[in-house]
Amino acid sequence: MTIRSVGLIPCRLKSTRLKNKLLKNIYKYPLFAHTYFKSVNSNLDEVYICTGDDEIIDWCIKLNIKYIKTMNEHSNGTERCAEAGERLKLRLKDRIVNIQGDEPLIEKSNLNLLLSNFQKNKNADVITLHRNIESRNDLNTTKLVMNSKNKVLYISRTDIPFSNKNLNRSIHIGIFCFEFKTLLRITGFKKSFLEQNENIELIRCLENDINVFSYDVKNELIGVDTMKEFKKVKFILENNKKYLSQINKFYTLT
């Protein structure tokens, strides 16, 4: 039986740091529509927006974006993806790529890297991505520490590992690949002590012996959490004429 590779993009409007960020306009389209467009051009078999917000669903209908209406009450994107997987009747071995809706600079090469490494790494329960760049204790970003085989040992909002020099850190990118059975396992655990203290959902996996591996990407990826980040992403996309032509053609044809 064929294993499905499904991209799920959990979206909600109740963001605390930048209100209604997913509906903020970039060119002619809301931010989340750019993330969707980038995702469907990858090797994923299917991609869905997962949301309980009618304003997002209205845009999905207008742009003919595939979506799954979920409950509003989920506390995080992982829970929303689990409900969406059940509604899609995914099998336990089917692969899910959880893509944050506020990652409009994601490229198909990044998603394909996730899928290929998940297939090759038999020890991995979860595959994610990071970027090696300088960090000066920005608490809006999370940093990974890994061993020589790319296995994640810990993740924190503070700059780890410690260094007296301007050491590059592995800045986590909020995109994950796992089997549906692993997703169900993760959502079955209670929110962990370290997860609550760091306010980082991925730590739940580490505290429950779920093997997480991360791989480096070179292109600039910006998760939009602040107005500064939104303005930077908006500038990058709106000044890329080739990209604007592609997204216009996509949403005209769908």
Q: What are the tens digits of pLDDT across the range 47-91?
A: 999 999 999 999 999 999 999 999 887 778 788 999 999 999 999
The Cα–Cα gap between 212 and 147 comes to: 11
Q: What are the tens digits of pLDDT across the range 170-227?
A: 999 989 999 999 999 999 998 888 998 998 889 999 999 999 999 999 888 888 888 9
Q: What are the tens digits of pLDDT across the range 230-242?
A: 999 999 999 999 9
Sign of the dihedral through C-alpha 89, 110, 167, 145: positive
Name every residue whose Cβ is closer than 8 Å to that of residue 194 and which is 6 or more positions away in sequence.
Answer: 203, 206, 207
- Residues in a beta bridge with 216: 130
Helix (H, G, I), strand (E, B) or coil at 169: strand
